[in-house]
Amino acid sequence: MDDEVILLDFWPSMFGMRVRIALAEKEIKYEYREEDLRNKSELLLKMNPVHQKIPVLIHNGKPVCESTIAVEYIDEVWKDKAPLLPSDPYEKSQAKFWADYIDQHKINMLGYQLWSTKLGEDEHEAISKKLVECLKVLEGALGNKPYFGGESFGFVDIALITYNSWFYSYETFGGFNLKEECPKLITWAKRCMEKESVSKSITDPNKIYEFVKSARKLRGIE
Ligand code: GS8
């Protein structure tokens, strides 16, 4: 029996994009289903009753929720192609540490605060600073390696590169320039974008910017 793979997703989601990249890396055919997050489908509520969030990977009828868990699941199930996590236990622990760092620091929430609300000058500056600091720590972890795990594209790259779609909006509304603040990270992002699995899976930054601008209009801040 062929595997049935369905992805419940929402096009601007940096979390959904992670799963899209992992599936593309492994060359897995799947059905993409766009969710309306203001009117969630019965299937989404059934498959992710706890968080009711996308992305949800549904493999032969069984749901896998949480993007990094789904990426790891994909790596384990489709083992023969393009390993995403290292097999060495220590290396694997490090990859998970950095993916967790990305999620714990809630880059998306910091960015969201920058574009979705009218902040006082001090608060705005503090949030922008926090976001840039977090990216600088990640740049330090990358060091001079081509990818976070070394020579090949993998788990941490997938966890972070999806923010590349959002960086332009974060910079615009956060008032910083990532090329100046984190030049190595920008070079790394360009390198990742050269991979077809990434470029075809992640959303154009201009499209995200238009999305952000219309969300700001709806909130009456533009
Ligand atoms: C986050 C998913 C998430 O926030 C993961 O998969 O890694 N930790 C999770 N999904 C959002 C859309 S992207 O911002 C979502 O589904 N929100 C719907 C809601 O909160 O009702």
pLDDT of 38: 96
Tell me, what's the pLDDT at 16? 98
Distance in Å, CA 52 to ligand 1 centroid = 8
DSSP output for 71-139:
HHHHHHHTTTSS--S-SSHHHHHHHHHHHHHHHHTTHHHHHHHHHHS---HHHHHHHHHHHHHHHHHHH
Checking if the pLDDT of 44 tops 70, the result is yes
Tell me what the mean pLDDT of segment 181-196 comes to.
98
List, for residues 126-139, the tens digit of each pLDDT value. 999 999 999 999 99
- pLDDT-derived band of residue 119, with 50, 70 and 90 as boundaries? confident
- What integer pLDDT is reported at residue 63 of this predicted model? 98
Looking at residue 1, what is its pLDDT?
63
- Angstrom CA distances, 85 to 99, 111, 138, 157, stand at 11, 27, 18, 11
Nearest CA to ligand 1 atom 15: 53
pLDDT in tens, 136-180: 999 999 999 999 999 999 999 999 999 999 999 999 999 999 999
Domains of the chain, CATH where assigned: 5-77 (3.40.30.10), 89-218 (1.20.1050.10)
Q: Using the atom order of ligand 1, give the atom closest to the CA of residue 108.
A: 14
| Identity of the residue numbered 139 | E
The reply to whether ligand 1 has any atom less than 6 angstroms from the CB of 55 is yes
Residue type, 131: L
In the reported structure, the alpha carbon of residue 55 is separated from the centroid of ligand 1 by a whole-number distance in angstroms of 7
What 3-state DSSP class applies to 66? coil
Cα 180 from Cα 178, distance rounded (Å): 5
